[in-house]
Amino acid sequence: MLDLLAGFIQELRTAGLPVSLTENLDAMEAVKHIPLEDREAFKYALAATLVKSNAHWKAFETVFEVYFSMRGPEYDIKQDGEGEGLDDAELQALLQAMQGDRPAGQGGGMDGLTPEELAEMLYKALMNADEAMIRALARQAVTRYSGMEPGRPVGGTYYLYRTLRQLDLEGMLQRMMDAERQSAQDGGGLTPLEERLARDEYEVRLDKLRKEIEAEIRRRLVADRGTEAMAKTLRKPLPEDIDFMHATREELTALRRALQPLTRKLAVRLARKRRHGRKGPLDFRNTVRHSLSYGGVPAEPKFRYPRPSKPEIMVIADISGSVAAFARFTLQLVYAISSQFSKVRAFVFIDGIDEVTRYFEGVEDITDAVHRVNTEADVIWVDGHSDYGHAFEVFWERWGKEITTKTTVLLLGDARNNYHASQAWVVQELRKRARHVYWLNPEPRSYWDTGDSIVSEYATFCDGAFECRNLKQLERFVEHLG
Amino acid sequence: MAEPRFETVPAVRESLRDVGYLADEGIAGVVYLADRLGKPVLVEGPAGTGKTQLAKSVAEMTGARLIRLQCYEGLDESKALYEWNYKKQLLRIQVERESSTWQEIEDDIFTEDFLLTRPLLEAIRADDPVVLLIDEVDRVEVETEALLLEILSDYQVSIPELGTVVAKQIPLVFLTSNNTRELSEALKRRCLYLHVDYPTLEREKEIVTTRVPDISEHLADQVVRIVRSIRQLELKKAPSVSETLDWARTLVLLGIQNVDADQAKETLHILLKYQSDIAKATKELTVS
């Protein structure tokens, strides 16, 4: 047990969770008080002692599943083929009840069923929200459709895809909705509200089924390949470490979700920083006024607190394909905390440049505005390949005069200029007029200035060029900005 | 180590239920562990999911006194831990000006008689069982957080003039946080962590039926299902459990037995507090 826990904690650390030695000891202590056969309680005991942030919960859960999926009676997998994991007497009885017209004891559980019958049973189980049944059927579906073979070097997602394709969950949802409509026929049909509620309910159930299938596949893969190998393949970056440029669609959703609490935190922190800046020079009037309550003795010196003016931000972002996600997140972040700046203006470019501030004005939903920026802004000049030089030139001509000493300019992009002229003099001019000019690059520093990237040419004229590959780095930069 | 307060996890859950708090497996488990390990619990989660209520209910369940420290920006030692009652000290010095030596006075004025206890010290010194609730700990500055560390890890308070006050019994400590900032590692390390999220459909329904006794089974079911649908939307502020309860009460007061789209639309402002959220939810709920 100790070995197992040690391995488990090691894996958590590799996955990026900060687990300290004391927390490790706490976990050991905690499991002593928990009946080991209670898997849920065991999981919560570990979570309470080891995971100290909700963002890490998902990573924890995955690692937990891998390490402890083989334990606990209900999760036993019989390795000898016949009736895999389905010999539970209770389950068997359930099956019989569901099958109804089938003669009892035929064909060892579900193995004898035709695919149509299996689908039918699944449908019934989903309609009745019968969890035990859904779990059993998920297992059966995996056995049948995933085509798993020991030692085959294919990822779990492949098996998942194969299984789900056979089950046709979309069709299942449709069928359940039809049944719902049918049964409501007498009462005058479903109102849109009822329809929506029913759909949500069924989607939740289907989601449960999907999770069961996923868990089942994972269990089998663990059995096949061993815990460590499996943990390694399942290791995913935490939301704050996801690379903007290479995020999958799923990861982008995770990022979006992580962004919202982040902006809230950031806004609070910036506001606080503004209020609690360092002390300024002595405020003579105020000190004298307060000295009256001490009989004229200036016992309590008062200081003038500096109130730094809020910076004005100009974001100039490359939104061509490769760096679009990065631009989107940065715009979203900057606008979400726009109350911390006196003014925010946004410009986007590919080879042409366009001001998009208007999309954000008076809009409550920033996501929506960012979406409109990506679809409606006029950013194509010739061929739709990034041309920083031309974009900067146009910017300088049209908006250069509006830059004041209060303005901070953020330049966003990978500076991959497709071998066009750099026109770096624009950045130099910007630097002369503006308070600060920063360059944010979503590429790893080691890629800078390779190929057609000319970031250094611009960076020499900036106050700083930063690598911003993930939320963590972006957060650090924005905080520094406020 | 003192007698454990609870026998098993299910027992915790049962007694919490008796005082009207419906805990899930995770919540009950962490409360149980907090008692067994003698560690504070850091409760995090969205607003209105019953974090503070958990501490109150645990206090009620164990028959303990609840001592509450509400955190805010600018909270300091003298408000959280202890303060010398300097007016009383001054009086004392004046009374004894003639008779006593300096040494006597100094020994005298720094005694417990002149100490004003604040919530944290009070919880440590209490003879009767107490539950200490440190509410919204994320509101204090990072520097002030350090004040709590000694209490949380060793259950003691060091007063320079007086020595160290050690707890007579280990109180149950709950810290709540709305996650407006990252708490320091040092604080997190000393606590068990519990994330209280929106409850599952079944649990929320149970909560509604216990807290709003007049509600019909059918209406409760509808209410929680609508709320779940609304939470799935991308909103500025998703409806919390307390808002669900408010909404359920409103519907009962209005004598509504079956919520249709129009009634939902008209009462939506109880669930949602932003105009843009309301508009979005209305659109989603009426157009399928």
Hey, where are the domains in chain B? 9-73+127-195, 201-286
What is the C-alpha to C-alpha distance for residues B148 and B80, in angstroms, rounded to an integer?
Answer: 9
Question: Between residues 239 and 278 of chain B, which touch chain A (CB distance below 8 Å)?
Answer: 259-261, 264, 274-276
The verdict on a CB contact (< 8 Å) between B185 and A20 is yes
What is the C-alpha to C-alpha distance for residues A54 and B197, in angstroms, rounded to an integer?
Answer: 10
Query: Among the ranges A90-104, A221-235, B220-234, which has the highest mean pLDDT value?
Result: B220-234
Q: How far is A26 from chain B (nearest CA, A)?
A: 8
3-class state of residue B284 by DSSP? helix
Mean pLDDT of chain B: 86
Of A22, A33, A265, the CB nearest to B181: A265
Please give the C-alpha separations between residue B286 and each of A191, A193, A281, B153, B222, in angstroms, as whole numbers.
Answer: 8, 6, 60, 53, 15
Question: Between residues 52 and 91 of chain A, which touch chain B (CB distance below 8 Å)?
Answer: 52-54, 57
CATH level 2 (architecture), domain A257-276+309-481: 3-Layer(aba) Sandwich (3.40)
Inter-residue contact A412 to A458 (CB < 8 Å): no
* Angle subtended by helix axes A2-14 and A57-68, to nearest 10: 140
Question: Between residues 61 and 100 of chain B, which touch chain A (CB distance below 8 Å)?
Answer: 73
pLDDT tens across A431-473, in order? 888 888 888 888 888 888 888 888 888 888 888 888 888 888 8
Domain extents in chain A: 2-68, 74-234, 257-276+309-481
pLDDT tens across B147-187, in order? 888 888 888 888 888 888 888 888 899 999 987 777 888 88
pLDDT top residue among B121 and A159: B121
B38 interfaces chain A, CB cutoff of 8 Å: no
pLDDT tens across B44-81, in order? 988 888 889 999 999 999 999 999 999 888 888 888 88
What was the pLDDT predicted at A188? 61
Q: Which residues does A263 contact at the CB level (< 8 Å), separation at least 6?
A: A332, A333, A336, A337
pLDDT tens across A233-279, in order? 666 667 777 777 777 777 777 777 777 777 777 777 777 666 665 56
Of the listed ranges A193-197, A232-236, B126-130, the one predicted with least confidence: A232-236
- Helix or strand holding residue B78 (H, E): helix B77-80
Fold of B9-73+127-195: Rossmann fold (3.40.50)
A197 interfaces chain B, CB cutoff of 8 Å: yes
What was the pLDDT predicted at A214? 80
What is the C-alpha to C-alpha distance for residues A34 and A49, in angstroms, rounded to an integer?
Answer: 13
Q: What is the mean pLDDT of residues B223-248?
A: 87
Q: What is the mean pLDDT of residues A372-392?
A: 79
What was the pLDDT predicted at B59? 92
Look up the pTM and report it.
0.73
What is the C-alpha to C-alpha distance for residues B146 and B144, in angstroms, rounded to an integer?
Answer: 5
Residue A113 has pLDDT above 70, yes or no: no
pLDDT tens across A298-335, in order? 878 888 776 666 778 888 888 887 777 788 878 877 77
What was the pLDDT predicted at B42? 93
What is the C-alpha to C-alpha distance for residues A311 and A480, in angstroms, rounded to an integer?
Answer: 12
A200 interfaces chain B, CB cutoff of 8 Å: yes
The verdict on a CB contact (< 8 Å) between B229 and A196 is yes
pLDDT tens across A8-29, in order? 888 888 877 888 888 888 888 8
Inter-residue contact A159 to A236 (CB < 8 Å): no
